[in-house]
A = this chain, B = another copy of it.
Amino acid sequence: MSKGTLYLLPITMGEYNMENTIPRGVQELMDSVDIFVVENLKTTRRYLRKVNSTYPIDDKEFFNIDKRTSRKELSQFIHQHKDKTIGVMSEAGCPGIADPGADVVEIAHELKLAVKPLVGPSSILLALIASGKNGQNFTFNGYLPKDRSDRIKTLKNLERLSRSGNTQIFMETPFRNNHMIEDILTHCDNSMKLCIAANITLSNEKICNKTINEWKKESPDYHKDYCIFVL
């Protein structure tokens, strides 16, 4: 029995601009996948049809992972198919960063499957390099606390770390961006540079890096945009 492979399959960020974000070889490789372990079944099926309108979706098996999927259930599923070619796919970008993909990868390593990460869009990485900030030392913090006083405390800590040379990256849910920006502008130093990378890889992409002082002059509105903040 041949050894199985787990491919970490990237997916576009909301528009179907495969030509600019998914290498051709990675698109073609999806033909060889037997089983898709995915965050969102509908997104995956629609994407597969866009990559290749004759993609044999009905010949493939799909496993949907969500918050209710137990580690044991996932482990059993991968174990049953450990001689197959499995593809893990998140809802946007590269799997395994802010989604359940990492669990699938960890199980694959335990079962000694070959783990193959594939090149695709990552808003975190693209925001970092587009910020012009120090890329030799950086931290991704995911979402900051929802509670306002906790969030402000966290922001002040991130500002301190950034000043010491460790670039700080974080995100916010699109409909809370303006609150986040307000907190940053109110509580970080005027001389601090903030990069807001919005809608990365999409047609309305907008990346600005300027001082808090400059941001204050223009009442920025990022309501409902997909933003990555780099401090």
Contacts and interface: CB of A to CB of B under 8 A. Distances in A.
A18 B105 CA distance: 25
Contacts of A130: 8, 96, 105, 115-117
Given A20-B26, A117-B200, A136 B129 contact: no
Contacts of A96: 128-130, 132, 135
Contact of A102 (B23, B95, B119, B134): B134
Dominant secondary structure of chain A at its interface with chain B: mixed
Given A21-B119, A102-B134, A107-B132, 10 more contacts: A8-B130, A19-B25, A23-B23, A95-B129, A109-B132, A109-B195, A119-B201, A125-B125, A139-B139, A139-B166
A137 B128 contact: no
Residue of A23, A104, A109, A205 with most partner-chain B CB within 10 A: A23
Interface residues of A, number: 61
A207 B102 contact: no
A136 B125 contact: no
Contact of A208 (B98, B101, B109, B207): B109
Copies in the complex: 2
A203 interface: no
A102 B26 contact: no
Contact of A25 (B20, B98, B124): B20
A87 interface: no
Contacts of A94: 125, 129
Interface string A198-216: 0011000101111000000
